[in-house]
Amino acid sequence: KDELQQTEMSIAKADDQSADLQAKIGSLQSDEVRLQDEIEAAKAAIGQAQIDLQRASEDRQKENLDFQKTIADQTITIEILLKAMERLAQFYDAQFLQKSAAGHKGKQTPPVQQMEYKPNAGASGVMSMIEKLIYDAKDLVKDSKAAESESQAAYEQLVADTNQSISDLAAAVVEKTSAKAKAHKDRLGAESDLMDTVDELEGLHKYEADVHEECDYVLKNFGARQQARGE
Protein backbone atom coordinates (compact mmCIF):
# COMPACT_ATOMS: atom_id res chain seq x y z
CA LYS A 1 0.00 0.00 0.00
CA ASP A 2 2.86 2.42 0.80
CA GLU A 3 4.46 1.62 -2.54
CA LEU A 4 1.19 2.17 -4.43
CA GLN A 5 0.58 5.46 -2.61
CA GLN A 6 4.09 6.68 -3.40
CA THR A 7 3.69 5.65 -7.03
CA GLU A 8 0.32 7.42 -7.33
CA MET A 9 1.86 10.61 -5.90
CA SER A 10 4.67 10.38 -8.46
CA ILE A 11 2.09 9.87 -11.23
CA ALA A 12 0.09 12.90 -10.08
CA LYS A 13 3.24 15.02 -9.99
CA ALA A 14 4.23 13.83 -13.46
CA ASP A 15 0.68 14.54 -14.74
CA ASP A 16 0.89 18.12 -13.42
CA GLN A 17 4.30 18.54 -14.98
CA SER A 18 2.99 17.20 -18.28
CA ALA A 19 0.05 19.63 -18.21
CA ASP A 20 2.36 22.55 -17.42
CA LEU A 21 4.70 21.60 -20.25
CA GLN A 22 1.83 21.28 -22.72
CA ALA A 23 0.55 24.72 -21.71
CA LYS A 24 4.06 26.15 -22.01
CA ILE A 25 4.50 24.61 -25.46
CA GLY A 26 1.16 26.03 -26.59
CA SER A 27 2.07 29.48 -25.29
CA LEU A 28 5.49 29.39 -26.96
CA GLN A 29 3.93 28.29 -30.24
CA SER A 30 1.52 31.23 -30.03
CA ASP A 31 4.44 33.55 -29.29
CA GLU A 32 6.31 32.27 -32.34
CA VAL A 33 3.31 32.83 -34.61
CA ARG A 34 2.65 36.28 -33.15
CA LEU A 35 6.29 37.34 -33.41
CA GLN A 36 6.49 36.09 -37.00
CA ASP A 37 3.37 38.09 -37.89
CA GLU A 38 4.82 41.19 -36.23
CA ILE A 39 8.16 40.72 -38.03
CA GLU A 40 6.41 40.43 -41.40
CA ALA A 41 4.26 43.49 -40.59
CA ALA A 42 7.34 45.51 -39.62
CA LYS A 43 9.16 44.51 -42.81
CA ALA A 44 6.09 45.41 -44.86
CA ALA A 45 5.91 48.78 -43.07
CA ILE A 46 9.59 49.41 -43.86
CA GLY A 47 8.99 48.62 -47.51
CA GLN A 48 5.93 50.88 -47.67
CA ALA A 49 7.78 53.70 -45.91
CA GLN A 50 10.60 53.47 -48.44
CA ILE A 51 8.10 53.57 -51.31
CA ASP A 52 6.28 56.54 -49.78
CA LEU A 53 9.57 58.37 -49.27
CA GLN A 54 10.57 57.72 -52.86
CA ARG A 55 7.24 59.11 -54.07
CA ALA A 56 7.60 62.11 -51.77
CA SER A 57 11.09 62.75 -53.20
CA GLU A 58 9.74 62.61 -56.74
CA ASP A 59 6.88 64.96 -55.84
CA ARG A 60 9.29 67.36 -54.12
CA GLN A 61 11.55 67.37 -57.16
CA LYS A 62 8.57 68.13 -59.41
CA GLU A 63 7.38 70.92 -57.08
CA ASN A 64 10.88 72.42 -57.07
CA LEU A 65 11.06 72.35 -60.85
CA ASP A 66 7.65 74.04 -61.03
CA PHE A 67 8.87 76.62 -58.51
CA GLN A 68 12.02 77.34 -60.51
CA LYS A 69 9.97 77.69 -63.70
CA THR A 70 7.53 80.06 -61.97
CA ILE A 71 10.38 82.23 -60.65
CA ALA A 72 12.08 82.28 -64.05
CA ASP A 73 8.84 83.15 -65.85
CA GLN A 74 7.93 85.91 -63.42
CA THR A 75 11.46 87.32 -63.46
CA ILE A 76 11.33 87.59 -67.25
CA THR A 77 7.82 89.05 -67.03
CA ILE A 78 8.96 91.71 -64.56
CA GLU A 79 11.95 92.59 -66.75
CA ILE A 80 9.73 92.96 -69.82
CA LEU A 81 7.19 95.05 -67.93
CA LEU A 82 9.93 97.27 -66.52
CA LYS A 83 11.31 97.85 -70.01
CA ALA A 84 7.80 98.69 -71.17
CA MET A 85 7.45 101.14 -68.29
CA GLU A 86 10.78 102.69 -69.19
CA ARG A 87 9.77 103.11 -72.82
CA LEU A 88 6.43 104.62 -71.85
CA ALA A 89 8.11 106.89 -69.34
CA GLN A 90 10.49 108.07 -72.02
CA PHE A 91 7.53 108.62 -74.35
CA TYR A 92 5.56 110.66 -71.81
CA ASP A 93 8.68 112.56 -70.76
CA ALA A 94 9.37 113.39 -74.41
CA GLN A 95 5.84 114.69 -74.81
CA PHE A 96 6.18 116.70 -71.63
CA LEU A 97 9.49 118.16 -72.82
CA GLN A 98 8.00 119.06 -76.18
CA LYS A 99 5.10 120.86 -74.50
CA SER A 100 7.44 122.60 -72.10
CA ALA A 101 9.71 123.64 -74.93
CA ALA A 102 6.74 125.02 -76.84
CA GLY A 103 5.45 126.98 -73.83
CA HIS A 104 8.80 128.19 -72.47
CA LYS A 105 11.08 128.95 -75.39
CA GLY A 106 14.48 130.06 -74.44
CA LYS A 107 14.39 128.54 -70.96
CA GLN A 108 16.79 125.75 -69.98
CA THR A 109 15.16 122.33 -70.13
CA PRO A 110 15.39 120.54 -66.75
CA PRO A 111 16.95 117.04 -66.70
CA VAL A 112 14.63 114.08 -66.91
CA GLN A 113 14.20 112.49 -63.51
CA GLN A 114 14.43 108.70 -63.20
CA MET A 115 10.93 107.39 -62.75
CA GLU A 116 10.16 105.28 -59.68
CA TYR A 117 7.97 102.28 -60.49
CA LYS A 118 5.31 102.58 -57.84
CA PRO A 119 1.60 103.36 -58.00
CA ASN A 120 1.21 106.90 -59.18
CA ALA A 121 -2.17 108.57 -59.43
CA GLY A 122 -0.83 110.84 -62.16
CA ALA A 123 0.40 108.05 -64.44
CA SER A 124 -1.56 107.12 -67.51
CA GLY A 125 -4.07 104.25 -67.42
CA VAL A 126 -1.71 102.02 -69.38
CA MET A 127 1.22 102.67 -67.03
CA SER A 128 -0.97 102.09 -63.99
CA MET A 129 -2.02 98.77 -65.43
CA ILE A 130 1.60 97.78 -66.08
CA GLU A 131 2.58 98.85 -62.57
CA LYS A 132 -0.17 96.59 -61.19
CA LEU A 133 1.07 93.69 -63.31
CA ILE A 134 4.59 94.21 -61.96
CA TYR A 135 3.36 94.19 -58.37
CA ASP A 136 1.26 91.09 -59.07
CA ALA A 137 4.29 89.31 -60.52
CA LYS A 138 6.42 90.31 -57.53
CA ASP A 139 3.72 89.08 -55.16
CA LEU A 140 3.59 85.78 -57.03
CA VAL A 141 7.37 85.44 -56.70
CA LYS A 142 7.14 86.20 -52.97
CA ASP A 143 4.29 83.72 -52.42
CA SER A 144 6.07 81.07 -54.50
CA LYS A 145 9.25 81.42 -52.44
CA ALA A 146 7.28 81.14 -49.20
CA ALA A 147 5.43 78.05 -50.46
CA GLU A 148 8.69 76.50 -51.65
CA SER A 149 10.31 77.11 -48.28
CA GLU A 150 7.36 75.52 -46.46
CA SER A 151 7.29 72.55 -48.84
CA GLN A 152 11.03 71.98 -48.47
CA ALA A 153 10.81 72.17 -44.67
CA ALA A 154 7.88 69.73 -44.66
CA TYR A 155 9.78 67.38 -46.97
CA GLU A 156 12.89 67.47 -44.78
CA GLN A 157 10.76 66.73 -41.72
CA LEU A 158 9.09 63.86 -43.58
CA VAL A 159 12.49 62.42 -44.51
CA ALA A 160 13.70 62.68 -40.90
CA ASP A 161 10.51 61.12 -39.50
CA THR A 162 10.50 58.34 -42.11
CA ASN A 163 14.15 57.49 -41.53
CA GLN A 164 13.54 57.39 -37.77
CA SER A 165 10.48 55.18 -38.29
CA ILE A 166 12.44 52.82 -40.55
CA SER A 167 15.25 52.69 -37.99
CA ASP A 168 12.79 51.88 -35.18
CA LEU A 169 11.08 49.21 -37.29
CA ALA A 170 14.42 47.64 -38.23
CA ALA A 171 15.41 47.52 -34.55
CA ALA A 172 12.04 45.94 -33.76
CA VAL A 173 12.62 43.30 -36.44
CA VAL A 174 16.00 42.42 -34.89
CA GLU A 175 14.51 42.29 -31.40
CA LYS A 176 11.49 40.20 -32.41
CA THR A 177 13.64 37.85 -34.49
CA SER A 178 15.80 37.23 -31.43
CA ALA A 179 12.71 36.74 -29.25
CA LYS A 180 11.25 34.31 -31.78
CA ALA A 181 14.49 32.31 -31.87
CA LYS A 182 14.46 32.11 -28.05
CA ALA A 183 10.79 31.04 -28.04
CA HIS A 184 11.58 28.35 -30.60
CA LYS A 185 14.52 27.11 -28.54
CA ASP A 186 12.43 27.10 -25.35
CA ARG A 187 9.64 25.22 -27.15
CA LEU A 188 12.04 22.54 -28.35
CA GLY A 189 13.34 22.20 -24.78
CA ALA A 190 9.79 21.97 -23.41
CA GLU A 191 8.86 19.34 -26.02
CA SER A 192 11.94 17.32 -25.04
CA ASP A 193 10.98 17.60 -21.36
CA LEU A 194 7.42 16.55 -22.22
CA MET A 195 8.68 13.44 -24.01
CA ASP A 196 10.77 12.57 -20.94
CA THR A 197 7.73 13.15 -18.71
CA VAL A 198 5.56 10.93 -20.93
CA ASP A 199 8.19 8.19 -20.73
CA GLU A 200 8.32 8.62 -16.96
CA LEU A 201 4.51 8.36 -16.75
CA GLU A 202 4.51 5.20 -18.84
CA GLY A 203 7.12 3.69 -16.50
CA LEU A 204 5.17 4.72 -13.40
CA HIS A 205 1.90 3.32 -14.74
CA LYS A 206 3.65 0.05 -15.61
CA TYR A 207 5.24 -0.11 -12.18
CA GLU A 208 1.87 0.62 -10.57
CA ALA A 209 0.30 -2.20 -12.56
CA ASP A 210 3.10 -4.58 -11.52
CA VAL A 211 2.67 -3.64 -7.85
CA HIS A 212 -1.09 -4.09 -8.12
CA GLU A 213 -0.64 -7.46 -9.73
CA GLU A 214 1.76 -8.64 -7.03
CA CYS A 215 -0.33 -7.25 -4.16
CA ASP A 216 -3.60 -8.55 -5.59
CA TYR A 217 -2.10 -12.03 -5.84
CA VAL A 218 -0.95 -11.85 -2.21
CA LEU A 219 -4.33 -10.60 -0.97
CA LYS A 220 -6.30 -12.99 -3.09
CA ASN A 221 -4.46 -16.06 -1.81
CA PHE A 222 -3.76 -14.82 1.71
CA GLY A 223 -6.80 -16.51 3.26
CA ALA A 224 -6.15 -19.86 1.61
CA ARG A 225 -2.48 -19.83 2.54
CA GLN A 226 -3.24 -18.84 6.13
CA GLN A 227 -5.70 -21.69 6.44
CA ALA A 228 -3.23 -24.13 4.94
CA ARG A 229 -0.51 -23.05 7.29
CA GLY A 230 -2.88 -23.27 10.22
CA GLU A 231 -3.78 -26.82 9.29
pLDDT in tens, 6-46: 999 999 999 999 999 999 999 999 999 999 999 999 999 99
CA 180 vs. chain centroid, Å, equals 22
The amino acid at 128: S
Instruction: Find the DSSP H helices in the chain.
Output: 2-103, 125-230
Write the CB contacts of 36 (distance below 8 Å, at least 6 apart in sequence): 180
pTM of the entire structure? 0.66
Residue 138 has pLDDT above 80, yes or no: yes
Instruction: Find the DSSP H helices in 104-124.
Output: none
Average pLDDT over residues 206-225: 82
Helices 2-103, 125-230: inter-axial angle, 10-degree rounding:
180
Question: Is residue 29 classed exposed, middle or buried when 0-12, 13-18 and 19+ CB atoms within 10 A define those classes?
Answer: middle
Q: What long-range pairs does 12-20 form, CB within 8 A, spacing at least 24?
A: 14/197, 14/200, 14/201, 14/204, 15/201, 17/197, 18/194, 18/197, 18/198, 18/201
Nearest to 32 by CA among 214, 195, 221, 191: 191
Please state, rounded to an integer, the average pLDDT across all residues of the chain: 87
Write the CB contacts of 100 (distance below 8 Å, at least 6 apart in sequence): 109
pLDDT at residue number 230: 86
CB 28 within 8 A of CB 190: yes
pLDDT in tens, 38-73: 999 999 999 999 999 999 999 999 999 999 999 999
Distance CA 95, CA 62 (A): 49
CB 118 within 8 A of CB 99: no
Residue 191 has pLDDT above 80, yes or no: yes
